[in-house]
Each structure stands twice: as structure tokens, then as C-alpha cells.
């Protein structure tokens, strides 16, 4: 009996392994498709905002917020003065600063409020979203569209993945591409960037 149960377990594991492979390929295929739909000229407009800002603030919620935290780390490595909104050590935003916001729907309450506050002091707001028809878009000097599904789009017409996964993954990959592009343009050795990496870990 034991060998039968073991064989059944192995069969289940093999099926799970195949499903894992299929789902990873699904995610990669969706990201490749998304990349063909992004207006990269629109994305490139971000570069002057980054270079002209005294300081850069980033705000996002949930998994989008985690993607922007990753972007904040890379921008810090590049030499920018960077803050993540909501941290206890984050200072007040000023007119000469830039707020980078991310919200698939463009309606996430705390993100819209942060954009309102930034705009009220004259700071530039650049946003990543899935739509130009939102309160966040109206507050933004530049809106970068990732044509992905929003969190409540459960029809799987845009993405077979759960909730806003396609947007959140795309945000992480696109902000990495932004960093990679700036790094290639400047040519700073990786060893120099690494000197800014956290050493209190």
C-alpha cells in the first residue's frame, strides 16, 4: 500500500511541477505582450523629471507599493535623494521635488491624497496607472500607462492572473528598465553604485 501512496504523491508532484511551469510561462507571456503595448516615448518623459528634481518621493499601496520600494532602492543606488512616503523619516515634500505615484485604478485614497498634497505645494507628480481617466491622472504632470488589468477586473479579458498582478509585475520590470537605461547612459561602474548599498543589514 505504501508504494501505491508514494506513486500517487509523485504523480501529484509531477502534475504540480507542470502547472508551475505553465503558470510561469503564462506570466512571462503576459509581460512580453504588455511590453509591446507600452508607449516608451511616454515613459522617457520621466527622465527629465528625475534629473531636475531636488528630491524624489515615491508612493504606492500594496504590491504596487512594494514595486516602487524596489525602484526607490535603485534610484538611491544611482545617487538620487529618495524617500518612500509613509516612512517616519520621510520629510515634507517641496516645490522642487518629484512625487512618483502608482495606482492601477488611479483612485486609491492615500495615493490620491499624497498627489493632492504634492500638487498643492507645486511639486511635480508623475504617475503609473492603467487609465488616464482618474483623480490621480488629473493631478499628474505625466501619466505613464501600463495597459494591464485593474484589481477588480475579474473577467480575465486582459489578464489571466489574479487581481492587479500584471500591473504590479509590469511596474517592477519597467522601473528596473528605467534604472538600467539611466545606468547605461552614464556608465558609472557597478562598484561605485554599490558603495551606496545598505551596510547595516
Residue 16 neighbours by CB under 8 Å, 6+ apart: none
Query: Which of 116, 152, 168, 192 is labelled catalytic?
Result: 168
Cell numbers found for residue 128: 503609473
| Calculated CA dihedral for residues 97, 103, 106, 111, nearest 10 degrees | -50
Alpha carbon distances (Å) from 100 to 50, 66, 136, 144: 9, 13, 11, 10
98-102 and 56-60 beta bridge pairing: parallel
Active site residue 168: yes
The strand ranges marked E within the chain are: 56-60, 82-84, 98-102, 124-129, 142-145
Taking phi over 0 as left and psi of -120 to 50 as alpha, with beta for the rest, 113 belongs to alpha
Distance CA 196, CA 73 (A): 10
Burial (Cβ within 10 Å: 0-12, 13-18, ≥19) of residue 97: buried
Active-site amino acid positions:
168
Amino acid at each position: 500500500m505504501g508504494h501505491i501512496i508514494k506513486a500517487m504523491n509523485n504523480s501529484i508532484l509531477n502534475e504540480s511541477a507542470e502547472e508551475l511551469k505553465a503558470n510561469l510561462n503564462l506570466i512571462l507571456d503576459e509581460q512580453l505582450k504588455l511590453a509591446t503595448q507600452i508607449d516608451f516615448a511616454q515613459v522617457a518623459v520621466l527622465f527629465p523629471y528625475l534629473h531636475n528634481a531636488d528630491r524624489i518621493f515615491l508612493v504606492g499601496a500594496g504590491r504596487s507599493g512594494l514595486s516602487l520600494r524596489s525602484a526607490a532602492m535603485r534610484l538611491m543606488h544611482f545617487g538620487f535623494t529618495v524617500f518612500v512616503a509613509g516612512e517616519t523619516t520621510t520629510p515634507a515634500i517641496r516645490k522642487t521635488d518629484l512625487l512618483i505615484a502608482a495606482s492601477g485604478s488611479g483612485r486609491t485614497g492615500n495615493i490620491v491624497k499624497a498627489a493632492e498634497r504634492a500638487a498643492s505645494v507645486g511639486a511635480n507628480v508623475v504617475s503609473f496607472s492603467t487609465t488616464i481617466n482618474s483623480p490621480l491622472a488629473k493631478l499628474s504632470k505625466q501619466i505613464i500607462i501600463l495597459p494591464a488589468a485593474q484589481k477588480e477586473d475579474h473577467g480575465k479579458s486582459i489578464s489571466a492572473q489574479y487581481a492587479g498582478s500584471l500591473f504590479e509585475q509590469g511596474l517592477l520590470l519597467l522601473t528596473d528598465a528605467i534604472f538600467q537605461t539611466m545606468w547605461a547612459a552614464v556608465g558609472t561602474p557597478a562598484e561605485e553604485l554599490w558603495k551606496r548599498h545598505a551596510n547595516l543589514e
